[in-house]
Amino acid sequence: MLLQHAMPWQLPEFEREALEHARKLLTESEDYRGSIDLQSYIQLMDAKVLMCRFCLDDNGQERQGLTAHEERWCQILAMRVCLAQMICLVFLRTMEPGCIELLLRLAQSFKGCREPHLGLLYEMSTACLWYLIVAFNRPANAASEALIPLQAFLHSWELWAVAAELLVYYQRQQGFKPTMPAAEMHELFLLLKHALCSALQLSELGGEKKPLQLAAVEVARQLCCLNPTSTAFRFMLGSALRDAGDYTAAARVLRNVLQAAQASNAHLHTYKAAQVLILLREVGAEGQRVQLAEHRRLLEIAEHALKLCKPAVPVMEWRQQQHNEPDWNATCTKPKVGVVWKGTPYLVLANVKTYDRCCRECHDAPACRRFHVGPTGRFMFPTPSGALAAVTKRAGRAGGGVWQAGSKQG
C-alpha cells in the first residue's frame, strides 16, 4: 500500500460528527437500516478522507515530494471520489482546494504517453475535474473549451476497455489499495457521458436538444444494464425519460424506483421518486383521469420520506455551519442558472417549490432554495402539505375526487 506518509489531515469536527451520526443511524435505527442513501454518503466521505489524507499536508496544502506513481494514485483517488459523488443524491464540497490544485497541475503537465492505461487515467481524471469544478457548479459556463475534448474522450467505452484492464493491473502492480476495478471505471465513464449530455443542452455546441435527451436515456439504460439493482441508476433513467418527453415510460420506471426505495429505507430516493411521479400524473403519464386517492397516497409517502430525511442527511448540519462564514455569503442568493441535473451545489430534493415570500436568512425574493434555518431552528424544507391541500381543492372542484390531467382547475 502506498500510504507511507504521516496522515495528519482530518475532517472538520462538524463533518466528522455528521459522518459518525450517519454510521450510527445505518446500524442502529430501524428507519435507516440498510439505507442506500446513507451508504452512498458514507462511501463518498470515506473516499474524500482517503484522498485528502494522502494528497494534503496538515495545512491542507498539496503534499510535496510525491513520486510519479503516487501522483497517479492521487488521480485514481479523485476518480473514486467523483464516482461516489455522482451516485450520491447529496452534493458535498468533497474536493478540497489543495486536491484541486494538485489535479490541475497534473492535468496541465501531461505531455502524452504511449501507455494506453496512463492515457485513460489522464483523460478520466481530467473529466472528473470538469464535472466537480465546472459542470456541476456552473453548468452554463461548462461549454466551449472543455466540451470538445470531452466529447472525443466519451465517445465510446469500447475504445478504452482494454486500457481499463491494463490500469487495473497497474494499480495492483504498484500496490494501490483499494483498487478501482474496470467495472467502476465503466460506470464512471457513463456517468460522465450523462453529465456531458446535460451540459451540451445548455451549450451553443449542443444544437438540437432532442438527440441529446435521447442520448441521455441510452446512457442511463446502459448504466441500468451494468448494475440492475442500483436505485440511483434507475432513478436517473426515469428522469432522462421524463426529460425526453416519454412520460408513460418514465412513470413506469419511477414506480419501480419508488417500490425499491421504500423497501431499502432509501428516503431521499423515495421522496424524489414520489414527487416526480406526482408531476408526471398531472400531465397524464398514468392516464387522463387523475385520481385524488392515489395523489394523496403519493403526497403522504413524499411527506413521510421527507421527515425521515431531516435527521439522516448530514449535509444539512454542514450547510448550517457554513452559512455565516464570509466566503459563503455570496452564495446565499437565487441560483444564477436553473436547477440542472441535481441542482445546487449543496443539497437538492427534486423539483423544490420556489415560494413567493422572501427567504428568512438572506431576504432574497423569491426564496433562494438554500434550505436555511428559520427562527425556530428548524430547516425551512418545502413540504408536500401545501400541494396536498391544492390537490384536494382541485379534486373537490372537479367532483368525485377525479380531474382531467393537464387541467388548470383550482
How far apart, in whole angstroms, are the C-alpha atoms of residue 181 and residue 198?
Answer: 26
C-alpha R_g of the chain: 22
- For the chain, report the end-to-end CA distance as a whole number of angstroms: 64
Q: Which residues of 324-340 are buried (b: 16+ CB within 10 A; e: fewer)?
A: eeeeeeebbeeeeeeeb
Sole residue written with cell 419501480: 256
pTM: 0.76
Higher pLDDT, 392 or 261: 261
Q: Is the pLDDT of residue 332 over 90?
A: no
Answer for the pair 122, 167: CB distance below 8 angstroms, yes or no. Answer: no
Torsional sign, CA 323, 96, 335, 379:
negative
Answer for the pair 399, 347: CB distance below 8 angstroms, yes or no. Answer: no
Helix (H) or strand (E) holding 403: strand 402-404
What would the pLDDT profile of 110-164 be if each residue is shown by its tens digit?
Answer: 777 778 999 899 989 988 888 877 655 554 444 455 677 778 888 889 989 999 9
What the block records as the C-alpha cell of 18 is 455528521
What would the pLDDT profile of 348-364 be if each residue is shown by its tens digit?
Answer: 222 333 333 344 444 44
What would the pLDDT profile of 40-64 be if each residue is shown by its tens digit?
Answer: 888 998 999 999 888 888 888 888 8
